[in-house]
Amino acid sequence: MLAVIRILVSILPTTLRSRASLQAEILALRHQIFIYQRQASRPKLQPADRILWAWLSRLWQKWQDVLVMVHPSTVITWQRRRFRDHWRRLSRPGRPSLNRKTRDLIRRISRANPLWGAPKIVGELATLGIHVSQSTVDKYRVRPPRGGPPNWRTFLRNHVPDLVSVDFFTVPTVKFRVLFVFLVLATDRRRVLHFNVTEHPSSEWTARQVVQAFPWETAPRFLIRDRDKIYGKRFKETLDSLEIEQVLTAVRSPWQNPYVERLIGSIRRECLDHTIIFGEDHLRRILKEYFRYYHRWRVHQSLEDSPDGREVQPPELGEVVQFREVGGLHHHYEREAA
C-alpha cells in the first residue's frame, strides 16, 4: 500500500515539467520494464496493486495499452472478485457459529447416552436453558456405531446384580486328607452368599448347597461355573427348578470366571497359606471368621470399599483403635472415644 501511495505522490511534480521531459522519462521507464520482463518470472502482486489497476481501468480508457505485467483480462477478473467479496461481506449468510462450550456439551451428552437421538438431546438442552436447533445438534453429536447399543461396561453393570459365580477349591489337612470347599459368590458387591466344606463332594451335595444359598425366591438369573464333572444331572435339574440359567466357561479358562477365582486366591494368600487345617469343622470355623472380616472390613480394590460398606469416621469420634481379626492375621481400625 505504501508503494502505491508513493506513486500517487510522485505524479504531482510531473504537472510542472515539460512535455519533452515527460516523454523521455516514459521511454526510460518502459525500457526498464522490457528488461524486467526478459529476466524476471511472473511478478507477485499485492492487494493494493490490484486495487490500483482496477481503479485505473474505470478512469482511463487506454489503460490496456500500457499494461505489460499481466493480461487485461486478469484486471477485469480482479474487479469482479472485488465486487463479489464486497456483497458477500454485506450479506453474511448463515447463522452465527455455536460456541465451543455448547459443542462439547452436545458431544458429552451423546457419548453418555448412545440411545438418544437429536430430538431428545434438544429437549435436554432446552431444560438447561440452551436453545439450539435439531440440525445443529445432529451436526455435532457423536453417533455410536451399529445403531447405538450400550458398550460392554454398561451391559455388565446392568446384568451384574443377576450374576453369581460358583467354584470348588481344595484344602489339605494335617492328616493328609483333602477337603473340598464350595463357594457361591455374588458378583455385584463380591459377597460370599454361601460356602460349605466336605470331603466327598457329589452332584446331589452340590445341588443342596445351591438350594441353601438361595432361599425364598432369591435365586439369580445367571450362574457362572466351569465344566467340572461334579456338576452332574442332579445339579442341573436343581438349577432348572430354580429357573437359573447356567453360563459355562471354556475348557481350562479360569479367567472367564474371574471374580470367584480372585476370591479363592485371596483366601489362600491371606488365610489358608498361614494356617494348618485339622479337619472340616476347623476349616469351616476359619473360613467363617475370614469371611466375616472379608465382608465387613476388607477393602476391595475395584469397590474401593468393603462388600458390606464402611462409614467414614471423622477425627472428632476419637482416637484410632486396632482390633484383631482372623486370629491376628489381620486387623481392622476404628475410632473410639477415650
Mean pLDDT score of the chain: 82
With a cut of 80, say whether residue 55 has pLDDT above it: no
Environment class of 289 (CB within 10 Å of its CB; exposed 0-12, middle 13-18, buried 19+): middle
Mean pLDDT of the 34-51 span? 63
pLDDT confidence tier of residue 318, bands split at 50, 70 and 90: confident
Q: Measured between alpha carbons, how far is 53 from 73 in angstroms, rounded to an integer?
A: 12
Phi, psi values for residue 179, rounded to 5°: -105, 145
More confident residue, 264 or 61: 264
Mean pLDDT of the 232-242 span? 94
The pLDDT value recorded for residue 50 is 66
Cβ(169)–Cβ(264) below 8 Å: yes
pLDDT in tens, 182-230: 999 999 889 999 999 999 999 999 999 999 999 888 899 999 999 999 9
What torsion, rounded to 10 degrees, do the Cα atoms 92, 94, 98, 103 define? -140
Percent of the chain with pLDDT over 90: 37
With a cut of 70, say whether residue 250 has pLDDT above it: yes
SS (H, E, C) the chain: CHHHHHHHHHHHHHHHCCHHHHHHHHHHHHHHHHHHHHHCCCCCCCHHHHHHHHHHHHHCCCHHHHCCCCCHHHHHHHHHHHHHHHHHHHHCCCCCCCCHHHHHHHHHHHHHCCCCCHHHHHHHHHHCCCCCCHHHHHHHCCCCHHHCCCCHHHHHHHHHHHEEEEEEEEEECCCCCEEEEEEEEECCCCEEEEEEEECCCCHHHHHHHHHHHCCCCCCCCEEEECCCCCCCHHHHHHHHHCCCEEEECCCCCHHHCHHHHHHHHHHHHHCHHHCCCCCHHHHHHHHHHHHHHHHHCCCECCCCECCCCCCCCCHHHCEEEEEEEHHHCEEEEEEECC
The pLDDT value recorded for residue 155 is 65
Cβ(225)–Cβ(259) below 8 Å: no
> How far from 12 is each of 5, 7, 19, 289, CA to CA, in Å?
12, 9, 15, 108
Mean pLDDT of the 30-54 span? 62
Q: Measured between alpha carbons, how far is 126 from 44 in angstroms, rounded to an integer?
A: 53
pLDDT in tens, 139-187: 889 887 665 556 656 666 777 888 999 999 999 999 999 999 999 999 9
Beta strands across the sheet bearing 178-186: 191-198, 178-186, 163-172, 222-225, 245-248
Cβ(88)–Cβ(70) below 8 Å: no
The pLDDT value recorded for residue 15 is 59
Q: In CATH, what is the architecture of 158-309?
A: 2-Layer Sandwich (3.30)
Least confident of 34-38, 119-123, 192-196: 34-38
- The pTM (predicted TM-score) of the whole model is 0.58
Q: Measured between alpha carbons, how far is 197 from 209 in angstroms, rounded to an integer?
A: 10
Least confident of 7-16, 49-58, 245-254, 255-264: 7-16
- In Å, the largest CA–CA distance within the chain is 132
Q: For the chain, what are the domain ranges? A: 1-11+47-85, 100-147, 158-309
pLDDT in tens, 251-302: 989 998 999 999 999 999 999 999 999 999 999 999 999 999 999 999 887 7
pLDDT in tens, 304-315: 888 998 888 888
The pLDDT value recorded for residue 302 is 78
pLDDT in tens, 66-112: 555 556 566 567 667 777 777 777 666 556 678 889 989 999 998 88
The pLDDT value recorded for residue 11 is 60
The pLDDT value recorded for residue 295 is 95
pLDDT confidence tier of residue 117, bands split at 50, 70 and 90: confident
